Structure 1
Amino acid sequence: MPRPERLRRRGSGALAAGILLSLTAAMMPVTRVIEPGGWVPGALTLATVMLATGALLRRARVPAVGVSLVESALFVLVITVAFFRDTAWFGVIPTPDTLRAVPVLLADAVQQMATGAAPLPASDALSFFVVASVGVLTLVLDHVVVTTRLPLLGAVALVAVALVPTIAVPAPMDVGAFVVLGIGILFLLRTDTRARHAGSSRRPSTASATGVAIGAVAVIVAVVLTPLLPAPESREDPIAAGSSGINPTLRLGDDLRRPNPVEVLRVRTTASTAPYLRAVTLSSFAGEVWRPDEQRPEPVDSAEGFGPVPAEADVARAEQVTRIDIERLSSTYLPLPYPATDIGGLRGDWGLIAENRTVVAMQANTSGQGYEVLTEEPRPTLEQIRGARARGAAVSPDYVQLPVVTPELIGQLAREVTADARTDYDAVTALQRWFRSSAFSYSLDAPVEEGFDGAGVDAVERFLVERTGYCVHFASAFAVMARSLDIPTRVVIGYLPGADTPELVDDQVVYSVTSDLLHSWPEVYFEGIGWVGFEPTNSLGSPPTFSSGATTPGGAADQELGLTPEQTEAPSVGPSERPDLPGAAESGAVQDDQASPTAVPGIVALALVALLGAPGVVRAMWRRRQLTAASGGDERAAWRVVQDTAIDLGIPVPASESPRSFGARLVAAHGAPPDAVDALVTAVEHASYAPAGSAWSGAARDGTLASAVDAVRGALRAGTPLGRRLLAVLVPRSLVVRPGSATAGAREPSGAR
């Protein structure tokens, strides 16, 4: 075997190793979205087996098509054995049942990603999704990087894979993963360059080493200097940034501060005032983040429905009908008043979770929905709720779960604040009254300025020290302190009651709910009554009150707890309750705290488009620079544009061919205009061979070099199929393939004319 060919085969093995290294680094950010589990070694093992098999087959001189077919078969085999053994023949060969099981598992994975909160538990469906995705990506990268030798395109795919989880779940940069990914991509580019020049007299050692050095410096600068740069102020449009959405994860510090609220929905109800609207309940808290409840939803039209409201027969109830029209909300979580007993008018496939009375999309979205909700709200008397037990109630242990390591300050303050409480209700109202007292203040800015805008029990402890924050601080601190007293709590994400409008429909006031009313609050469970919402956020909303069965509202029984006679079901909010927000008094608009996410799908799509379009943009900028030089009389720059255009369009540019011979072939085989080609060839020959300082009055002197280049480029593109032209724009080979290199000098395609 000739030495150059032997070196290229060795280069294929090195490229496969570089792909595996880069894949490993690209997978690291995925652990932000899905908890590490069996999918990590499974995906890496599958990638290793596929890449090693491909390298061995290439050393055995198997054609590229055969390599891809064998790798595809290996992929199917491993996926079948790992996830579909029960439906496969002999546990190995896929059957029709296996094919039917694949979309079911994929749909389950998509549902978990749509309704869950990161990091998601590593279920079988999600493990299959990740392992299968890594296998497909490995197959594509092996073909793109090793077979077609386009490592830059492979690098774009790897960066996109690493970038998407980072955008979806904001967190500090994973320096280790970034450095490993950078090393892997540089290794791919270096190995490919050396393999292209194997056996050639034109050794790329200096240029290649310079490129690697530049890349290494870029990685070091990104790691060392970027974290030191000040973060830019957010100036996004709230709609484009996704403020009209619902974030199912209550992260202390992911609360977004965005001006210019937009109307997200309209409400009218048979109740006297507008209700709170719940969307998501969060019960599990391990110390870093509150997790949304993940019970499997049942179809909305199922026979069981929401089921009866779990309140004792002697507790009074109030039935209300609420109409909700979505104006500008895109979410898989449906805003509902509590406690819902029936719902109608939904379009699409929706599922209900009876335990927490929420509704989530199975194959639908809130956009454009209009629906009616029937609620049956328990209205216990003050005596009934004070006599109801919360501590030791028969509920899931999740509702009293606390992290293994919880700061002592949290429990200590909870005991101090509730020291005089005689009942569980007295204890939680004491907590609520304490948070809403002058000891605390509401602020969107203070958490950032004071440095505790983070997540977890440490942030709760810091909030209790600083005593200023926004709704997620108040709700989480209330829930954690109540749990330290063994009182079952959970946190809810939804919307505050909207502002009334002059509009009437069927004699009902229409309330407008804007994006800045997205809110979080705690709920407490009482036996015989159910879940009761509380409002600890200082200066926001109205806490629930209960009237004595023996006195009128506002009587002695109410006053002994220091409560005011307000409507239980309809706490309200107005501009005057938010004096701490800039411009509230002038505009009358409530700048509420935001728990909504960024528009992850839109941002991810834009990021992918930017990454995929980057090679074309870089190529266009470089070409413009060369054309500018050509307009100034640089013959070599003009000729280089022609060569790069040919490489991008798949036209060989071998080192053995002189400019005149190459120009003649462009005219004869590709329809290039003879006059323009002759002007360019004459100019580059003069620049290459004429004595220094000799005068010449050709195209370089009369300013027509750039015009000649444009004429040749236009003719070459016109004679090339559309698909190849598009590929030349999106993935310009000339970024990595140099004129005269082994790859650029490939044999002329048979389709050339």
Structure 2
Amino acid sequence: MSSADRVATARAAARGEWVLPVAVLVALVTALMPVLGVVDPGSWLLGSIVIAVLVIGAGFVARLFRLPAVAVSLIEAAVWAGFLTFIFLRDTALLWVIPTPATVRTAVDMFDDAMREIVLGAAPLETSAELGLLITGAMGLLAIIVDHVAVTARMPLLASIGIVAVSLIPTIAVPGEVDVMAFVLLATAVLFLIRAETRSREKPLQREDERSAGVPATAVGIGAIAVILAVVAVPLLPQPAIRGGVGGPGPGIDATLQLGDDLRRPQEIEVIQVRTDAPSPPYLRATTLSRFEGGVWEPDRVRTVPLDAEFGLGPLPFGEEIRSSEYLTKVQVMNLATTWLPIPYPAVEVTGLDGRWAAVPYNRTVISQSITTQGQSYEVSSTQPRPTLEQIRAMEARTPDARDETTELPSDLPPIVHDLALEVTAGAANDYDALVALQRWFRGGEFRYSLQAPVEDGFDGSGAEAVAQFLEQREGYCVHFASAFALMARTLEMPSRIVVGYLPGTATGDLVDDEPVYTVSSSLLHAWPEVYFDGVGWVAFEPTAGLGVPTSFSPAASLPGQPNDPTDPQSGATPTPSASAGSPTTSPLNPRDEAVSGPTVTETNPLPFASVMVGILALLALPGVIREVRRRQMTAQAAGGDAAAAWMLVQDAAIDVGIAVPASESPRAFAARLVEQHGAPAAAMGYLVSAIERASYAPGTHGLDFWLGESAAEAAAEVRTELLGAVPPARRILAFIAPRSLLVRPGSTYAATAARSR
């Protein structure tokens, strides 16, 4: 080797030592960019970058001394702990960097505070020491893991998957528009990482060979395609659907009334748009909860019928003397994925839905088990009964049945619930006046609406004990108000239940077909109680302090449209859940006799199931497809005379069937083992060994050049066929559908041990 070659070799080797750690560092920093969208920039950003540099640098120095992999990781962990201790916890440490038990306790407390800020705060979060410790510490741990996977284990693809997954966490937590620039930078960093690891395994002079130019060209091509897709195609796609959960962004509507965490979610989104010919936008109900066993309210479990069936929704069975109003409401779901359809009450007809939906006659709700509400647009016809004040006072709050799930109380109900119900309603002459007294008491100033008080004082739910604490503390949110009202009504022997749905929306100022458009946000998710009156049906009340308008009825002398008519609320007031009615007991379906373990729909649409199955099969086939594309590319390179590509085909085939490919074994020794132990053809292996040795040890030497043609590719294909044929069928199938060579590279730690025993 000439002196110039030796210099080139030394420079290439030195470059190979530091390029891979730099690539890891660049990828980590780009993965940190999405955090800027959810946390205000501050000292945590500099701290995260510094700790990543220190960890990666410590690993690089440790490897220069050829220390074992475990020692490298321990040194990086010590650097991580020392840096965090010095920056955030030095007051409790020895010599400012050595952690003590007090340091650990303080770190745990700061971690808890940081998690509380994330749960209760709103994006973007303000920078704090607690958040700084959490983010910086997480960045350091990620640096240790990625450095081990990419540099020690030589698995850059797996490391890249981890980096991408971590970068997606802020976007999932607080969804928003796609950040094209961050995506492009992350894609570029990942490609750089993969290419840096590939180059670090090549022979130094081979890197200078013009035959290796195809690899960077391929990487540049892939990067160009990714950038084009990000810049051109991504903006044309729908933005990620942020599904409104209970009181905030989430997977849908949680009807178990475990609403505390959901109500405290940080970002508010639009979930529904509504147009109606009614005087004011209606409450939208999703489902009802009647069964209460002391711990939690549970959704009604009743049989469903097809939406257009005779006993689906249909006319309301209230008397002719009860006046009513008919309204048409148009609903468009923007960002809400739930199987319960938000509709006004009491609905008599729902049209325009896509897919299979069923009606629940018992509570006049609509449900599906095969699809969700996301993207649905539909119309709801409702008939609103409007009894006069005299009529409602003359009715009894009872059901035809002597006792059912709407009146049951737990045996261990705290006495405070019944005692306060009797105290508040002592002066009422009828059931309606008693309920109005309860409503007025909750909204009269003694109670305060609060999302934080339940958590701070140790209760957060709708169970009997939580209700008792709420009545003592007198601070809570809609779940506590609704649950307390319903239980107090039951202690007075009145049938009650809880409704989960949305408060009326707010006007956007837009008009469509001369109708105002109202927007319903995720923060308007609500729970309210209903009480059943024999003769008019379920009547809604609004006990939650500060929300909505209390339910009331006008005397007979007050005509509709007059100032004192509650069906025509004053301008600017939140619309009341006007007296809602419906008679589930007149339905031919008895809810108590025909209750099942869950709602059932009589017809099932097979298309969603088939789509899911196709998607699962496509995901399962993806590794095999990627491996086949890679094999074809290397075969084409081998057919062009690239001995290294032909040899890589053999190594990948060996890894796929579980044969060890250690870095310490020479090509000749590896070939001999394949022939003797695994049935590889001797002639083909001999040809490939000769080719790779000439390419590795005598590249470009005069008198030794020879043209391989397609012989190397044919020999590699023959070896691969024999290796696959020598293993059991199950292993052969696994090699096709889940090839290990996609993640395990020749010469890596995980390739040094056979994945199976023979």
Q: Are 2:120 and 2:265, in contact at CA under 8 Å, matched by a contact in 1?
A: no
Q: State whether structure 2 residue 500 is matched by structure 1 residue 495.
A: no
Corresponding residue for 1:459? Answer: none
Deviation at 1:355, TM superposition (A): 8.8
Q: State whether structure 2 residue 43 is matched by structure 1 residue 38.
A: yes
Q: Are 2:551 and 2:579, in contact at CA under 8 Å, matched by a contact in 1?
A: no
Deviation at 1:500, TM superposition (A): 8.0
Deviation at 1:156, TM superposition (A): 1.0
Corresponding residue for 2:213? Answer: 206
Letter in 2 for 1:643: Q
Residue aligned with 2:71, SS: helix
Structure 1 residues 250 and 71, CA gap change in structure 2 (3 angstroms): closer
Deviation at 1:266, TM superposition (A): 0.5
Corresponding residue for 2:577? Answer: 571
Pick the aligned partner of 1:357 from 476, 481, 503: 476
Q: Are 1:118 and 1:169, in contact at CA under 8 Å, matched by a contact in 2?
A: yes
Deviation at 1:56, TM superposition (A): 3.1
Q: Are 1:343 and 1:373, in contact at CA under 8 Å, matched by a contact in 2?
A: no
Residue aligned with 1:266, SS: strand
Pick the aligned partner of 1:470 from 519, 542, 556: 519
Q: State whether structure 2 residue 87 is matched by structure 1 residue 56.
A: no
Corresponding residue for 1:153? Answer: 158
Corresponding residue pairs, total: 514
Matches within 5 A, 1:323-722: 344-345=463-464, 357-358=476-477, 468-472=517-521, 493-495=524-526, 497=528, 532-534=546-548, 543-544=549-550, 559-560=562-563, 563-564=566-567, 571-572=577-578, 619-623=623-627, 643-647=651-655, 649=658, 651-652=660-661, 662=670, 664-666=672-674, 668=676, 671-672=677-678, 674=679, 708-714=722-728
Structure 1 residues 234 and 4, CA gap change in structure 2 (3 angstroms): same
Corresponding residue for 2:271? Answer: 255
Structure 1 residues 120 and 210, CA gap change in structure 2 (3 angstroms): same
TM-score w.r.t. structure 1 length?
0.51
Corresponding residue for 1:266? Answer: 289
1:357-408 per-position Cα deviation (integer Å, ceiling 9, x unaligned) = 2399xxxxx9xxx96568999xxxxxxxxxxxxxxxxxxxxxxxxxxxxxxx
Q: Are 1:113 and 1:120, in contact at CA under 8 Å, matched by a contact in 2?
A: yes
Structure 1 residues 10 and 106, CA gap change in structure 2 (3 angstroms): same
Structure 1 residues 727 and 122, CA gap change in structure 2 (3 angstroms): farther
Structure 1 residues 36 and 691, CA gap change in structure 2 (3 angstroms): closer
1:423-466 per-position Cα deviation (integer Å, ceiling 9, x unaligned) = xxxxxxxxx99978xx96788xx9xxxxxxxxxxxxxxxxxx99
Corresponding residue for 1:483? Answer: none
Q: State whether structure 2 residue 224 is matched by structure 1 residue 217.
A: yes
Corresponding residue for 2:83? Answer: 78
TM-score w.r.t. structure 2 length?
0.51
Task: Say which one has the larger Rg.
Answer: 2
1:571-595 per-position Cα deviation (integer Å, ceiling 9, x unaligned) = 248799xxxxxxxxxxxxxxxxxxx
Letter in 1 for 2:546: V
Deviation at 1:73, TM superposition (A): 0.6
CA distance in 2, matches of 1:334, 1:267: 26
Corresponding residue for 1:172? Answer: 177
Q: Are 1:149 and 1:192, in contact at CA under 8 Å, matched by a contact in 2?
A: yes
Letter in 2 for 1:82: I
Letter in 1 for 2:15: R
Q: Are 2:271 and 2:520, in contact at CA under 8 Å, matched by a contact in 1?
A: no
Q: Are 1:19 and 1:141, in contact at CA under 8 Å, matched by a contact in 2?
A: yes
Q: State whether structure 2 residue 437 is matched by structure 1 residue 318.
A: yes
1:276-311 per-position Cα deviation (integer Å, ceiling 9, x unaligned) = xxxxxxxxxxxxxxxxxxxxxxxxxxxxx9xx9xx9
Q: Are 1:16 and 1:51, in contact at CA under 8 Å, matched by a contact in 2?
A: yes
Corresponding residue for 2:92? Answer: 87
Deviation at 1:225, TM superposition (A): 1.3
Residue aligned with 2:204, SS: coil
CA distance in 2, matches of 1:53, 1:37: 25
1:189-208 per-position Cα deviation (integer Å, ceiling 9, x unaligned) = 22222222242447463122
Structure 1 residues 435 and 560, CA gap change in structure 2 (3 angstroms): farther
Q: Are 1:440 and 1:467, in contact at CA under 8 Å, matched by a contact in 2?
A: yes
Deviation at 1:44, TM superposition (A): 1.3
1:158-197 per-position Cα deviation (integer Å, ceiling 9, x unaligned) = 1111122222322122223222212222222222222222
Q: State whether structure 2 residue 32 is matched by structure 1 residue 27.
A: yes
1:44-74 per-position Cα deviation (integer Å, ceiling 9, x unaligned) = 1211222223223333444443332221111
Deviation at 1:134, TM superposition (A): 0.6
1:619-663 per-position Cα deviation (integer Å, ceiling 9, x unaligned) = 422455699999xxx99999976531324547227899678x645
Q: Are 1:642 and 1:709, in contact at CA under 8 Å, matched by a contact in 2?
A: no
Deviation at 1:726, TM superposition (A): 11
Structure 1 residues 678 and 512, CA gap change in structure 2 (3 angstroms): farther
Residue aligned with 1:468, SS: strand
Pick the aligned partner of 2:186 from 181, 187, 193: 181
Structure 1 residues 745 and 335, CA gap change in structure 2 (3 angstroms): closer
Q: Are 1:645 and 1:713, in contact at CA under 8 Å, matched by a contact in 2?
A: no
Structure 1 residues 211 and 498, CA gap change in structure 2 (3 angstroms): farther
CA distance in 2, matches of 1:226, 1:358: 44
Residue aligned with 1:471, SS: strand
Residue aligned with 1:646, SS: helix
CA distance in 1, matches of 2:40, 2:621: 37
Q: Comparing 197-206 with 246-255, which one deviates more in the overlay?
A: 246-255
Letter in 1 for 2:437: A
Q: State whether structure 2 residue 251 is matched by structure 1 residue 242.
A: yes
Deviation at 1:131, TM superposition (A): 1.2
CA distance in 2, matches of 1:35, 1:559: 52
Q: Are 1:318 and 1:376, in contact at CA under 8 Å, matched by a contact in 2?
A: no
CA distance in 2, matches of 1:691, 1:352: 87
Letter in 2 for 1:319: L
Deviation at 1:219, TM superposition (A): 3.1
1:324-381 per-position Cα deviation (integer Å, ceiling 9, x unaligned) = xxxxxxxx99999xxx999643699x99997962399xxxxx9xxx96568999xxxx
What residue ranges of structure 2 are gaps of 5+ in the alignment? 1-5, 255-261, 275-283, 298-416, 425-433, 442-450, 490-502, 583-611, 693-705
Deviation at 1:747, TM superposition (A): 7.7
Residue aligned with 1:225, SS: helix
Q: Are 2:152 and 2:749, in contact at CA under 8 Å, matched by a contact in 1?
A: no
Letter in 1 for 2:547: G
Structure 1 residues 124 and 685, CA gap change in structure 2 (3 angstroms): closer
Deviation at 1:76, TM superposition (A): 0.7
Q: Are 1:29 and 1:177, in contact at CA under 8 Å, matched by a contact in 2?
A: yes
Deviation at 1:30, TM superposition (A): 1.5
Deviation at 1:21, TM superposition (A): 2.0
Q: Are 1:50 and 1:139, in contact at CA under 8 Å, matched by a contact in 2?
A: yes
Corresponding residue for 1:600? Answer: none
Q: Are 1:27 and 1:162, in contact at CA under 8 Å, matched by a contact in 2?
A: yes
Letter in 2 for 1:215: I
Structure 1 residues 375 and 28, CA gap change in structure 2 (3 angstroms): farther
Q: Are 2:687 and 2:715, in contact at CA under 8 Å, matched by a contact in 1?
A: yes
1:134-167 per-position Cα deviation (integer Å, ceiling 9, x unaligned) = 1100111122222233222221111111122222
CA distance in 2, matches of 1:341, 1:111: 15
Corresponding residue for 1:16? Answer: 21
Q: Are 1:554 and 1:565, in contact at CA under 8 Å, matched by a contact in 2?
A: no
